[in-house]
Chains A and B, each alone.
Chain A
Amino acid sequence: MDQKIGVYICSGCGIGEAIDCQALGSVAEEFSIAKVDHSEMLCGVTGIETINSDIASGAVNCVVIAACSGRVKTGEFCFDPMTVISERLNIREHVAWCQPAGAEDTQMMADDYMRMAITRVQKTTLPKPYLEELDKTVLVIGGGVSGLQAALEAAKADYKVILAEKEASLGGQMLNWYKNTPTQAPYQELSEISVQATIDEVTSNPNITVKTNVTIEKIAGAPGMFDVTFSNGGGTNRIGSIVLAAGWKPYDASKLESLGFGKFPDVITNVQMEEMAKAGAIACPSDGSAPSVVAFIQCAGSRDQDHLPYCSAVCCRVSLKQALYVKEQNEENKAIVFYKDMRTPEQAEEFYKQVQKNGVVFVKTDTSKVTISEGSERKLSIETMDELLGEPIQIEADLVVLATGMQPATLDDPILNLEYRQGPAMPQLKYGFPDSHFICFPYETRRTGIYAAGCVRQPMTASRAANDGTGAALKAIQCVEMASQGKAVHPRAGDMSYPDLFIQRCTQCKRCTEECPFGMYNEDVKGTPLPHPTRCRRCAICMGSCPERIISFNNYSVDMIGSMIKSVNVPDEYDEKPRVIGFICENDAFPSLDMVGINKLNYPPWFRFIPLRCLGSLNLVWIADALSKGIDGIVLFGCKFGDDYQCHFIQGSELANTRMTKIKETLDRLVLESDRIRFEQISIDQYERIPAILEEFTQRLEELGPNPYKGF
């Protein structure tokens, strides 16, 4: 593409009062551009028409919009991305609204931003999306309620589905259930198990192929082109995307000897209880007699730092249900529930109430401290502190049911057996659950095209698991649809760029293959990265990691940012005008910088901010480039990292921080102070902090004095 750059400068919204737009145009004209145009309201009909007719006439094919933030007026400044390169240069929020009007430094800031914007455009090429023949079949792993629903809903939307179940029959855990907790208003009656109806619907759906008695031997490839090999001679299939609905397993009760399991035959788990009820009679294992008093011990293993620190979410409801089984067997029977907190959220409170009305007795206690021993009149004796009474009680029962919790099926089995450089399993969030870390994006995973659903993701009820399967199916469908257009999925949904590697210069250092949060790269035997673009989420963390600078995108590269830095005009040391480059996360900190402007807050005029896709895409060479050019300081604004990280790309800001600890070498070589670099974690809502941070950093730089490399 022969670039013909048009620069369109708006003087509205106070820009014209703050800076000299004509002078800004002259700065643009220092570059090889097709035209500069001025408008008092560029977003108005005339302004837009001018740009569009310039594009239509072929006068320009690249546009630089020097006006407001790229977050606004997106409908107005909207050009065909396949034919036009466009760049939004924000001289409103980032200059006019946060700097004194008419000041020399304000003008210099705008001028630099103009140079940087044109440089960015010059280093950009049109997108060439990764378009391959992709398969859209959805593989659902697990034939429990979640997997069944995922398969069914994907099939209803006309996608081919392969449903793989490791057991001989579909249905999962629910096959062993007698009844379900209430699923319908008024939430008081136990529900019948209806899984068979769903199984019938699945098996009769022409879009669904069911494979039972199979596990996944291996999954190779990437979204749209997974090659999935099944065990047991199940063959290999080409798959587009995957729903992982592998379910849960009960916590190992043999670890609950303190609650009498394994010691007393009449201490059983809720799973055993369910099986007995399903088989038709609840009996004491020791002698087969029908129990007349049954005790339920909640949180048997759950909410216990020595076992499962989390709450298994369903056990309270399960015990309420099973207490009713006890009453159903003989209404004279007694059921006593020992609980820490009764957790019957939402409408399930009505169920709790109903069970109370059935005469079930509840004892609030720390269930991890319950003592179970042999009884005198009945088989077992339970001794504990009744927190409602404020006194210890001892009560005898014929049968004790431990409400054991849930653990994900993925806890010690990768299940997927991915042929990925980063391992065969989906990365876990916590406690073995491959759940999303993002509140706003519950299906977000670190393996593109693979979505967890149901109790493998987090403990949940059966109805919620079914619904969860539906959601995961949507994500699976969405992934293949986006991939087939060469587009990224969340969070850079629609991005058509993808990393291009100049592989001849690769030194097989493996940083990219290790650091990619999404496992995009495999490696060949020598350790050369093998990119799988449909796995890629376009964060460019690999680009930041690469010491050889061989990873580039059509619109984002090490060279591009380096050139932008070089385009900044650095006054000499006698001018007392320091220059600071700010590398700033474009997802959160950059909008936050807009808020600084919108709220008309001020900060020193020495800063030149460069938005990065993710701070993790920061390449250390930029820092070296900047400092050796005489830039006085570097500020980095990234998302919060640590356990509650806010980085959209998992580890980006943390990686950037780690890289900063390594920059010391560079600084030492340049004989520069490490204080010249400042890393700050900024949330999108913390715009008020920004001016203070920048003021304070400016002061520090003044103390350090000018960068001695100025003028070199």
Chain B
Amino acid sequence: MGDENRKILVVGGGISGITAAIEAAEAGAEVTLIERNPYLGGRVTQLNQYFPKLCPPTCGLEINFRRIKQNPKISVYTLAEIESLSGSPGNYQAVLKLNPRYVNDNCTCCGKCSEVCETQIPNPVNYGMDTMPAAYLPHAMAFPFKYVLDPGIVGTEEARKCLDACKYNAIDLDMQPASLNLNVGSVVWATGWDPYEVEKVDYLGFGKYPDVITSVMFERLSAYNGPTGGKIIRPSDGKPVQSIALVQCAGSRDENHLAYCSGICCLASLKHATYLREKNPDSKVYMFYIDIRAMGKYEDFYVKVQSDENVVLTKSKIARVSIDRESGQMLVEGEDIGRSEKVKQLVDLVVLAVGMKPGTASCKPSLDMDYDDFGFVTGSGSSGLIPAGCVKAPMEVAASLQDSTAAALKAISTAMGR
């Protein structure tokens, strides 16, 4: 260990990228981890709990951030993108574009800039379900623990106000995009996934009715640090939710949308059932599915949720979501396969189990890799880039991390020119 060429670039600072970076660094490699957002953690930052343990993702993130902070072999760049990438195994040249944060390392997170900032912007961590000041800390446990100024206010009076409020010279409104050249021996591509644009499944009503939301939004709606402080209420009128419909395969297993199975949604929805049941003991959950896919020991979780008599599971692919004029509730319709009769269920809130689209479906590296028809990476191609996590297949967190750990070893040997 300790070879000069054992330098690794990890692209994507979600839980997969974080894991690949830490695991490689703790095995002796020197790692640069880059992330497009102003914080690390990616999609899991936006989750309330993990199935099947129902434990908070911030727990694992916190320990990983600690491992990063204490390890001098890991350099982290947020707000960073790949501008160009060339080379081959053992010798890659990457040019990073570092977008301005408008806040420098002096930031102590005292919060004064945010206090004076009156411009509100949609909060991306909460999928725009609420707003926040344009000078903001992405979330309370963010790493790096530093504020960000939204580029939209830079050059306005608002930004001046933030600048004046900062006692520590931490705001730099002249910050420009910077370039950084890296020479590394291997590159791990861990750019994660995006929720499917479920408004395309138009009969499910997303985008048309405020009380139809996606599963990822439901995570925020259930989280202590979410837009409602963890209260599960209807977006339309703020009333507490008494009943939900969990609509599976909202885009997945469907040739017109995502032909593959997104793998995680059944378990995520079973977990969502527990969110509402836990917070509101009088509530009722209706879950509509084609097949329940709870592999391995996850079956135990399925059995556990199933045993709650207020969680009703129905084999049905939902065909229509509309508003019931009389009650103002959402009406969910389809066929109950087990009974060969109509499903007509009124609920307060509809949660669509949106599928996973690989990050590489919309944004591929400039170097060659092999992809399937859906944009998932199937091989390193001629470039030797190492894919990790959900860019390869839909995976739950544990599987992504298993994969990223494997990617870390491949990155080490690739960097050695093996």
Contacts and interface: CB of A to CB of B under 8 A. Distances in A.
Given A439-B55, A442-B402, 13 more contacts: A41-B106, A185-B371, A187-B372, A310-B300, A345-B263, A350-B259, A440-B60, A440-B61, A494-B67, A644-B52, A646-B59, A684-B62, A685-B56
Q: Among the interface residues B315, B376, B393, B402, which one has the most CB atoms of the partner chain A within 10 A?
A: B402
A68 B299 contact: no
Contacts of A471: 402-403, 405-406, 408-409
Interface string A238-265: 0000000000000000000000000000
Contact of B109 (A72, A470, A493, A644): A72
Interface in A191-250: none
Contacts of A353: 259
Nearest to B22: A493
A692 to B, nearest CB: 13
A470 B406 contact: yes
Contact of A478 (B27, B65, B230, B374): B27
B26 A343 contact: no
A390 B340 contact: yes
A343 B339 contact: no
Contact of B406 (A12, A311, A467, A688): A467
A174 interface: no
B27 A481 contact: yes
Given A13-B110, A185-B378, A439-B50, A433 B70 contact: no
A437 B223 CA distance: 23
B221 to A, nearest CB: 15
Nearest to B23: A474
A511 interface: no
A587 interface: yes
Interface string A426-442: 00011101011111111
A599 interface: yes
B299 A303 contact: yes
A443 B23 CA distance: 11
Interface in A586-622: 587-588, 591, 595, 598-599
B126 to A, nearest CB: 15
Interface in A258-307: 303
A309 B58 CA distance: 30
B1 A481 contact: yes
A371 interface: no
A477 B60 contact: no
Nearest to A67: B108
Contacts of B50: 439-440
B292 interface: yes
A441 B60 contact: yes
A345 B105 CA distance: 44
B409 A71 contact: no
B129 to A, nearest CB: 18
B127 interface: no
Contacts of A441: 60, 401
Contacts of A468: 402, 406
B319 interface: no
B145 interface: yes
Nearest to B56: A685
B320 interface: no
B257 interface: no
A687 B58 CA distance: 12
Given A473-B409, A598-B140, A71 B64 contact: no
- Chain A binding surface SS class: loop
A388 interface: yes
A557 interface: no
Nearest to A342: B291
26 contacts: A71-B69, A185-B372, A187-B372, A309-B299, A311-B296, A311-B299, A341-B292, A346-B393, A346-B394, A348-B261, A349-B259, A350-B260, A353-B259, A440-B60, A464-B399, A467-B402, A471-B406, A474-B27, A481-B28, A491-B63, A587-B62, A595-B140, A644-B54, A685-B48, A685-B59, A685-B225
A219 B394 CA distance: 38
Contacts of B337: 387-388
A358 B347 CA distance: 40
Interface stretch (A151-159, A502-510, A702-710): A151-159
Interface of B is mostly: loop
Contacts of A646: 53, 55, 59
Interface of A: 12-14, 41, 43-44, 68, 71-76, 153-154, 156-158, 184-187, 303, 309-313, 341-350, 353, 364, 387-388, 390, 429-431, 433, 435-443, 458-460, 464, 467-468, 470-471, 473-475, 477-478, 481-482, 489-491, 493-494, 587-588, 591, 595, 598-599, 640, 644, 646, 648, 683-688
Nearest to A431: B297
Contacts of B140: 595, 598-599
Contact of A477 (B27, B294, B399): B27
A319 B70 CA distance: 49
Interface in B283-327: 291-300, 303, 315
Contact of B168 (A44, A341, A347): A44
A309 B70 CA distance: 42
A186 B108 CA distance: 51
Contacts of B315: 364, 387
Contacts of B408: 471, 474
Contacts of A309: 299-300, 303
A458 B224 contact: no
Contacts of B56: 683-686
A357 to B, nearest CB: 12
A364 B409 CA distance: 42
A439 to B, nearest CB: 5
A684 B58 CA distance: 7
Given A468-B402, A591-B62, A345 B261 contact: yes
Given A443-B405, A470-B409, A587 B418 contact: no
A158 B53 contact: no
Contacts of B229: 688
Interface string B1-26: 10000000000000100000001101
Contacts of A467: 402-403, 406
Contacts of B108: 12-13, 41, 43, 68, 73
Contact of B253 (A349, A443, A473): A349
A387 B338 contact: yes
A157 to B, nearest CB: 5
A474 B406 contact: yes
B413 interface: yes
Contact of A347 (B64, B70, B105, B372): B372
Contacts of B357: none
A153 B410 CA distance: 7
Contact of A439 (B60, B110, B340, B409): B60
B296 A158 contact: no
Given A14-B110, A471-B405, A640 B55 contact: yes
B416 interface: yes
Contacts of A73: 108
A311 B294 CA distance: 7
Given A474-B408, A685-B56, A440 B259 contact: no
Contacts of B292: 341
Interface in B60-94: 60-67, 69-71
B361 interface: no
Nearest to A588: B59
Given A342-B291, A494-B70, A470 B410 contact: yes
A136 to B, nearest CB: 10
Given A153-B410, A347-B260, A684-B62, A439 B372 contact: no
A442 B403 CA distance: 10
A346 B224 contact: no
Contacts of B300: 309-310, 430
A187 B106 CA distance: 52
Interface string B266-294: 00000000000000000000000001111
4 A-B pairs with the lowest CB-CB distances in the bound complex, closest first: A440-B60, A185-B372, A470-B406, A471-B405
